Chains A and B, each alone.
Chain A
Amino acid sequence: MGVDTILTDGIIPAPVRRRPEALLQVEQLSIDIATRDANVRLVDNVSFGIGRGERVALVGESGSGKSVTAQALMRLNSRVKLSGRVNFDGKDLLSLSPSQMAAMRGQRMGMVFQDPMSSLDPLMTIGDQVAETLRIRGISKRNARQRALDVLDELKVERAAERLDSFPHEFSGGMRQRVVLAMALVGEPDLLIADEPTTALDVRVQERVLDLLDEISRRRSLAVLLITHDMGIVAGFADRVMVMYSGRIVEENEATLLFAEPQHPYTRGLLEAVPRADVTVDRLRSIPGAPPVPAARPSGCTFHPRCDRAMAICSSVEPGEAITPSGARVRCHLYGAG
């Protein structure tokens, strides 16, 4: 269709654009899991970078591989096999020993999950839990407690000093999520990975938590990888967006450009499928079918059975990466050699 594109080789992945101050550099990361009958590829050959202080969203539907990717970066799931490279500030994370990796997690990288209760110990006080990573590092009890208090203040937990000695069940859902954020942030990491941190919260509480995250990431130059399925949250928070479909990153661009000029048919479809609270439309455009499961991923472009622009080549050949004039990094034959 005559799109001007910068073509890249369809077989060898294009080199990842290195940003001047790259903090995290993921190259050709694949994640496999051995089930009883077969080896299943959950995430297939993804490459991306995150700059210092940059806020990147990883968006996709259920089962697309977002959480598996996040856990791989933190090496939290020992049941999967990782291949490729994950470079964090000059260190190859995939070759660190478990204890070196544990130190990275406590000090340089923090993570929060959707359900705050899964990260909280119901029998331990808030103060002790927030201070724990510091105590492990050998910081004195007094100093650790002071820093726990500071970070709870930073997260605008009211009467934080009194609440250091309370227990998780005494907190509301939104407050618990702030405590979990405090646990991840107390060690002053350079990167925070937040996996659906507000999905369980009501909209007003969600907005508050995202505002806090926004403020802290700017103040501290904290890089954030925000995982979500909500395009609205992405739009309000991210500098850059990666769209994941069935274990692959199919499009990546600056947030404003991705929303203004989505290139991949899946990205376009997703944006047109979201109802909006600020405008009335007659009918949503839906994408037919449903996302595939990893064990039954379609051949060629995994989106082809659902794509209204699919061509003959799409069902047999996996599209390589191309960069479009709008700056999108996209995997789709519309932008390939065709």
Chain B
Amino acid sequence: MLQIDHISKSFPAGRGQRTMVLDDIVLNVDEGQSVGLVGESGSGKSTIIRCALGLAQPDSGRVSYSGIDVHRASRFDTLRFRRDVQLVFQDPYASLNPRMTVEELVGEGLLVHKLETTAAGRRARVVEMLRMVGLGEEALARYPRSFSGGQRQRIAIARAVVIRPKLLICDEPVSALDVSVQAQVINLLQDMQAQLGLGILFVAHDLAVVRHLCTTVAVLERGRIVEHGSREQVFDAPQHPYTKALLEAVPIPDPAIGRARRTERQLAT
């Protein structure tokens, strides 16, 4: 469905030099598939998303969605792309317009894409959607500021999913949330995927969350995908030293494992 096909991108770095930020990235998301892209800060995750959305132009390679070249699409195709591909961002505070009610926020896509032309029809769809994400009808007239971080992220998901997209691109959607609330949002994304057959491209630095949510995983190191495979391959039998190093450094909530690893490291040095 989404094909990121050998894209590279560099930025000027002064004195006629250029730094390579993306180097020959290949990544596909098929219908109903959940793909995780993990990398440390500065590894190029956000640049990949920007290229995938057509917001940044790669130097070479191409991004296509169901056969449409994202960077050379006709107006008609662009509209379709904007409906089929939705986004959920990290910061549930910045991504929702504070002056819009929940009804307006969640219903906006229905209006823009002319999917529900009557106010009553839109309201019914919005209410149905709010139920799906665990919010009640009483949320309709309220503004984002009266919701907690987790609730705002549910609203953001409702807003993205209400128009029945085929692909949801999530940029660190749970990293700003508390542990107990993070689990709710992760479960919600899982349910949405199962119920609606959504494809998900999940970009995050948290390996544990990616393992939990994604069946295919790519590991990004300084603009290059160094490992790419099924969840089990990448997490249980990593091949690349970088993946191994990352996995060894992720804290595991089990004191026996944490201590054994530290002793091992201390012996190694």
Question: What bracket does the count of chain B residues touching chain A fall in?
Answer: 35 or more
Smallest CB separation, B63 vs chain A (Å)? 27
A291 CA to B217 CA, complexed, in Å: 32
User: In the complex the two chains form, is B262's CB within 8 Å of A214's CB?
Assistant: yes
Tell yes or no: B74 within 8 A of A by CB.
no
Q: Which B residues lie within 8 Å of A235 (CB)?
A: 251-255, 257-258
A236 CA to B261 CA, complexed, in Å: 9
Chain B residue nearest in CB terms to A293: B148
Which stretch, B52-60, B86-94, B164-172, B175-183, touches the partner chain A?
Answer: B175-183
Tell yes or no: B135 within 8 A of A by CB.
no
Tell yes or no: A273 within 8 A of B by CB.
yes
Q: Which B residues lie within 8 Å of A306 (CB)?
A: 180
Tell yes or no: B235 within 8 A of A by CB.
yes
User: In the complex the two chains form, is A290's CB within 8 Å of B255's CB?
Assistant: no
A284 CA to B209 CA, complexed, in Å: 10
A62 CA to B182 CA, complexed, in Å: 12
Tell yes or no: A237 within 8 A of B by CB.
yes
Which stretch, B3-11, B106-114, B123-131, B242-250, touches the partner chain A?
Answer: B242-250
Tell yes or no: B186 within 8 A of A by CB.
yes
Smallest CB separation, B135 vs chain A (Å)? 12
Tell yes or no: B184 within 8 A of A by CB.
yes
Which stretch, A84-92, A144-152, A176-184, A204-212, touches the partner chain B?
Answer: A204-212
A286 CA to B154 CA, complexed, in Å: 14
0/1 interface trace, chain B 63-81, chain A, CB 8 Å (1 if under): 0000000000000000000
Smallest CB separation, B192 vs chain A (Å)? 14
B residues whose Cβ falls under 8 Å from a Cβ of A: 40-41, 148-151, 178-184, 186-187, 190, 205-209, 211-212, 231-232, 235, 245-259, 261-262, 265-266
A residues whose Cβ falls under 8 Å from a Cβ of B: 61-62, 202-204, 206-207, 211, 214-215, 229-237, 255-256, 259, 269-271, 273-278, 280-281, 283-288, 290-291, 306
In the complex, 11 of the A-B residue pairs with CB atoms within 8 angstroms, ordered by the A residue number, are A203-B205, A211-B265, A235-B253, A235-B254, A259-B254, A274-B208, A280-B212, A283-B190, A284-B212, A290-B151, A306-B180
